[in-house]
Amino acid sequence: MPRPRLVVIGGVAAGMSAASRARKLSSELEITVLEKGREVSYAACGIPYFLAGAVADSQDLVVYDAAFFREERNIDVRLEHEAIAIEPGRRRVLAMAPGSRPVEFPYDALIVATGAAPEVTMPGSGLAGVFTVNDLASAVRLHEWIASERPQRAVIVGSGYIGLEMAEALHVRGLEVTLLERSTELAPGFSEAIETRLRGLLQSHGVTLTMATEVVEIVGNSTGRAREVAASGGRSYLAELVILATGVLPRTDLARAAGLQIGPTGAIAVDERMQTNIAGIYAAGDCAETRHLVTGRPAYSPLGTTANKQGRVAGENAAGGNARFEGILGTLITKVFDLGLARTGLTAAEARSTGFQAEEVTIDARTHAKYLGGRTLTLTLAWDAASDLFLGCQIAGDPCAAKRIDAAAVALHARMRLPQMLHLDLAYAPPMATVWDPLLIAVNEAVKSRATKGARTGERKQ
């Protein structure tokens, strides 16, 4: 009897997690990974630190190379193999290596981990000097371009966390940086108070911030190099380097063509077992949809943490297990210069748009005791006034302190209501914390504001 075959399309976070997990559960399975790039299993989130020079060699970002997976985990990794078709009827994938004909890869189970691609639609995005930074190869090209071409001015399009991390990285590399944001919101997903703090920080580091500015075209010079960015309102910004950080879209062409169902977010629809509408075909990572645990609705959350978890679940199930991935909170952390930013769950604005009667409070507290140098931590907390349900939290403060967002994330997983959170037994010692943790201060403020409102509208307190 032939050994059962698992094929995985895509060899970064979700794909390699899936393949590794499947191997852990089954030594029998024949596992093949088709990766179109030249690297597997690298830390894409480390790219800005490589560009800033904090990581000496791009290879330091490679967690395990293809040889490791072949030798240590008996996983047949095929680099530079681009899948070109999934044929569910024949249970096979067609893939092509450079300069060769399509090769067939039959499967008993298939995991689609095709990832996401940057949204690149504007005219001029093909000019030399225009980059995206969503994979290691593009990061290495950008790194070499900066070293050889010595650009002076950079425009970054998009102020999400990647745009912000790139602003710092390029500033550290000595460039004059302008950040262009289409919307009126800097760092979407954060409260206004935190946005204001971030705005001050960028200014203090000399990063120019231009809001509500849409790029019309990237204009090149006669040699095909980027020269300036033409934007809405007739404005233009000189730049030899343009970074497109306007977000990513799930790569779903193969999946669509094969008849896999696409969800309302535009990513591949999956159940809690990460299975698509076709039995035996799973999807995981940046190409797959998930569920938001606060709204209960389908969500798209292209992050490394989600990709690893979904990959592991898909791998376990493809190997005959029965694991489930229930969903995400959109928990995010980033560092911009010396400021840590973190969020989990919903902002009040996001929550209102999904039907909650959301309220929010923002407090400034200290990371730890003032007499030991504690610094200001800004924390915004959102809750549902109708049910007291805790909805989300955002933090700005010292980078390490921003990781405290996790306590709020666990409270969201547990679907806690504010009164349950008033007396959480959180850790205190003067060098690391305050006796009232910022989260507790915010919960107290929220309960107080709720009581005040109740009093105003004639409700009785208690």
- Which residues of the chain form contacts with its own copies (CB under 8 A)? 13, 43, 45-46, 49, 54-55, 60-61, 293, 303-306, 308-309, 313, 321-322, 325-326, 328-335, 340, 342, 344, 369, 371-372, 398-407, 409-411, 413-414, 416, 420, 423-433, 435-437, 439, 462
Q: How far is the CB of 461 from its own copies (least distance, A)?
A: 8
164: which residues sit within 8 A by CB, 6+ positions away?
A: 179, 187, 198, 334, 336, 341
Rounded to whole angstroms, the Cα distance separating 361 from 391 reads: 12
Enter the tokens of residue 326.
């229930």
Bridge partners (DSSP) listed for residue 130: 242
In the bound state with its own copies, the residue whose beta carbon lies nearer, of 161 and 237, is 161
In the bound state with its own copies, the residue whose beta carbon lies nearer, of 137 and 410, is 410
In the bound state with its own copies, the residue whose beta carbon lies nearer, of 83 and 389, is 389
Q: How far is the CB of 56 from its own copies (least distance, A)?
A: 9
Q: How far is the CB of 83 from its own copies (least distance, A)?
A: 25
Rounded to whole angstroms, the Cα distance separating 310 from 282 reads: 10
Q: Is 287 a catalytic residue?
A: no
Angle between helix 66-73 and 13-25 (nearest 10): 10
**What totals of helices (H) and strands (E) does the chain contain, helices first?**
13, 25
The alpha carbon of residue 179 and the mean position of all alpha carbons in its chain are separated, in whole angstroms, by 19
Instruction: Please state, as a whole number, how many other Cβ atoms lie within 10 Å of the Cβ of residue 38.
Output: 10
Rounded to whole angstroms, the Cα distance separating 236 from 213 reads: 10
CA atoms within 13 A on the CB side of 460: 1
Q: How far is the CB of 226 from its own copies (least distance, A)?
A: 28
For the CA atoms of 285, 289, 290, 291, what is the dihedral angle to 10 degrees? 160
In the bound state with its own copies, the residue whose beta carbon lies nearer, of 104 and 406, is 406
Burial profile 6-16: b = 16 or more Cβ within 10 angstroms, e = fewer: bbbbbbbbbbb
Rounded to whole angstroms, the Cα distance separating 284 from 299 reads: 13
109 touches 282 (CB < 8 A): yes
209 touches 179 (CB < 8 A): yes
362: which residues sit within 8 A by CB, 6+ positions away?
A: 191, 193, 194, 378, 379, 380, 381, 442
In the bound state with its own copies, the residue whose beta carbon lies nearer, of 229 and 405, is 405
In the bound state with its own copies, the residue whose beta carbon lies nearer, of 94 and 346, is 346
In the bound state with its own copies, the residue whose beta carbon lies nearer, of 249 and 447, is 447
319 touches 26 (CB < 8 A): yes
In the bound state with its own copies, the residue whose beta carbon lies nearer, of 257 and 451, is 451
| Residue of 365, 295, 309, 331 whose CA lies nearest to 161 | 331
Q: How far is the CB of 328 from its own copies (least distance, A)?
A: 5
In the bound state with its own copies, the residue whose beta carbon lies nearer, of 286 and 398, is 398
Q: How far is the CB of 41 from its own copies (least distance, A)?
A: 11
| Residue of 198, 191, 197, 199 whose CA lies nearest to 361 | 191
Enter the tokens of residue 343.
């969020």
Q: What amino acid occupies position 346?
A: L
Enter the tokens of residue 357.
């009667």
Q: How far is the CB of 251 from its own copies (least distance, A)?
A: 21
How many residues appear in the chain? Answer: 462
The three-state secondary structure class of 9 is: strand
Q: How far is the CB of 316 from its own copies (least distance, A)?
A: 10
Q: How far is the CB of 410 from its own copies (least distance, A)?
A: 4
> Annotated catalytic sites, by residue?
45
